[in-house]
Amino acid sequence: MKNAHVIGLGKSGVAAARLLRRDGWTVVLSDRSSSPALVEQQNALSQEGISVLLDYSFVPDSRTNLLVVSPGVPWDSPPLAAARDNGLEVIGEMELAWRFLQDRPWVGITGTNGKTTTTALTAAIFQAAGFNAPACGNIGYAACELALQPTVPDWVIAELSSYQIEAAATLAPKIGLWTTLTPDHLQRHRTVEHYAQIKASLVHRSEVAVFNGDDPYLRQHLPEEFPDGYWTSVGGKGAIAPLRPCAYIEAGWVKFEGIPIVRADALRMVGDHNQQNLLLAVTAACLAELDGEAIAAGVESFPGVPHRLEHICTWQGIDFINDSKATNYDAAEVGLRSVAAGSVLIAGGEAKEGDDTAWVQHIQARAATVLLIGDAAPQFAQRLDIAGYTAYEIVETMDRAVARGAEVAPALGASVVLLSPACASFDQYPNFEQRGEHFRQLCQERFL
């Protein structure tokens, strides 16, 4: 008898349970939480032959053959360590999907920042070329959902976080892209070196490795580790030397190995960092030997990514921009650099570890005022005081931040009100998406 236990009643956990059930496994799905919505899910899944345990913490037992964990479950948590010590096979949902889809070519995209935009853009380009190439992982589908579909994809375009990679020991993409590396998730991974090693493990298993040559950490640490890697740069071919250049911007064009592919301004997204995301996506498409015209069409029609410098509305000449996905200092710094100076910034939430120096410097240089929300508000206020920046207010909630932003922006001559929190969302919202949707809703109710 094949008995599997899946931890986590989110999208990836449910997809993993269904995939195992279809493959003939007896499946138990558990979650530490309980709510009316989860009870409803429990009842629906029981009709599919999947047992669901709510308000339950996993304990290893001798009957279980396979344990599948969702990305939010710490890989080194005591129950998982005990399970491995007992000889139980423990894998992540992404590894399970790989076992069913490893005959398909994968593009695996990892990095601290930039991976969501790169993943979405890569999928859009492949789809413009006529491929069934859905985005999965942290965006789009759960990977196991793709294995459940009647039509197997031509390509799997997967955004892979460090959490997913450490639980997917055999996943080996055809093309591996690494966008950036800055300190993040250190409460889980402890050191930047360990965090980087996890991401490097995925790229080592990739047939072809592609790196952002403009990222300081990647440029300094990876050339010797990946002597056959391909490198990209917005600064032109010479900026990558002596590394192996594959894609770069020259005379306004994205060029792959010297051949013009698409105009750099064809991507309708603000911010210099998105030019680098464009280079990585185009490189993946060229390495997959997609037609140049299809690549250009995919780029030109790409609408952008929700919650990443997403324009919500314009009111009295002021743009309201949703950058809720900026959940760390580096991403929020990019957000500030991407909009006009003198903006009204909304920041705060659940603070993360990391170096906020550059972010604070950009606030001093580019923010007319900062409206602080969430648990981090007092901490951020103290940090700004130390830096000598006093043009902030603690407003606590998103409702007050949007209302106050509309009041102060005209008086300050600000052309932008930017939500770019530099924080996780879990103090007030289940995820950054719901935080961004609340911002959108408030703006649309007030200004449209």
The pLDDT tens digits of the residues spanning 72-95 come to: 778 888 889 899 998 899 999 999
Higher pLDDT, 448 or 197: 197
Element (H, E) at 118: helix 115-128
Residue type, 191: T
Note the pLDDT of residue 190: 60
Q: Pick from 138, 69, 134: which is nearest to 104 by CA?
A: 134
The HSE-up count of residue 236 (CA atoms within 13 Å, CB side) is 4
pLDDT-derived band at 241, boundaries 50, 70, 90: confident
Q: What six digits make up the tokens of 41?
A: 């899910």
- pTM for this entry: 0.83
Q: Pick from 114, 104, 154: which is nearest to 281 by CA?
A: 114
Residue 6: pLDDT over 80: yes
Residue 186: pLDDT over 70: no
CATH classification code of 3-87: 3.40.50.720
Note the pLDDT of residue 184: 54
Residue 325: pLDDT over 60: yes
Spell out the residues 6+ positions from residue 23 whose beta carbon is closer than 8 angstroms to its own: 100
| Beta strands in 193-298, from DSSP E residues, in sequence order | 208-212, 230-233, 245-250, 253-256, 259-263
Interhelix angle 93-101/11-22, rounded to 10 degrees, is: 40
pLDDT-derived band at 182, boundaries 50, 70, 90: confident
List C-alpha distances in Å: 150 to 50, 109, 144, 146, 147: 21, 25, 12, 9, 8
Which class for 124: exposed (0-12), middle (13-18), buried (19 or more C-beta within 10 A)? buried
Is residue 342 within 8 Å of residue 412, measured between CB atoms? yes
Residue 257: pLDDT over 90: yes
Is residue 420 within 8 Å of residue 336, measured between CB atoms? yes
The structure tokens 């959940």 sit at 327
Residue 410: pLDDT over 90: yes
Q: Could you tell me which residues are annotated as the binding site?
A: 111-117
Spell out the residues 6+ positions from residue 372 whose beta carbon is closer than 8 angstroms to its own: 347, 348, 380, 381, 392, 393, 394, 395, 396
| Homologous superfamily, domain 310-447 | Mur ligase, C-terminal domain (3.90.190.20)
| Separation between Cα atoms, residue 345 and residue 366, nearest integer Å | 9
| Separation between Cα atoms, residue 87 and residue 97, nearest integer Å | 22
Is residue 367 within 8 Å of residue 344, measured between CB atoms? yes
| Homologous superfamily, domain 96-300 | Mur-like, catalytic domain (3.40.1190.10)
Q: Could you tell me which residues are annotated as the binding site for ATP?
A: 111-117
Q: What is the mean pLDDT of residues 188-199?
A: 79
Q: What is the mean pLDDT of residues 369-397?
A: 97
Angle, CA of 290, 208 and 111, to the nearest 5°: 95
Residue 310: pLDDT over 90: no
| Separation between Cα atoms, residue 93 and residue 138, nearest integer Å | 12
**Structure letter (DSSP) for residue 152:** P
Q: What is the mean pLDDT of residues 398-413?
A: 97
**pLDDT tens profile 35-50:** 998 999 999 999 999 9
**pLDDT tens profile 140-161:** 899 999 999 999 999 999 999 9
User: Where exactly are the structural domains of the chain?
Assistant: 3-87, 96-300, 310-447
Instruction: Write down the mean pLDDT value for the chain.
Output: 93
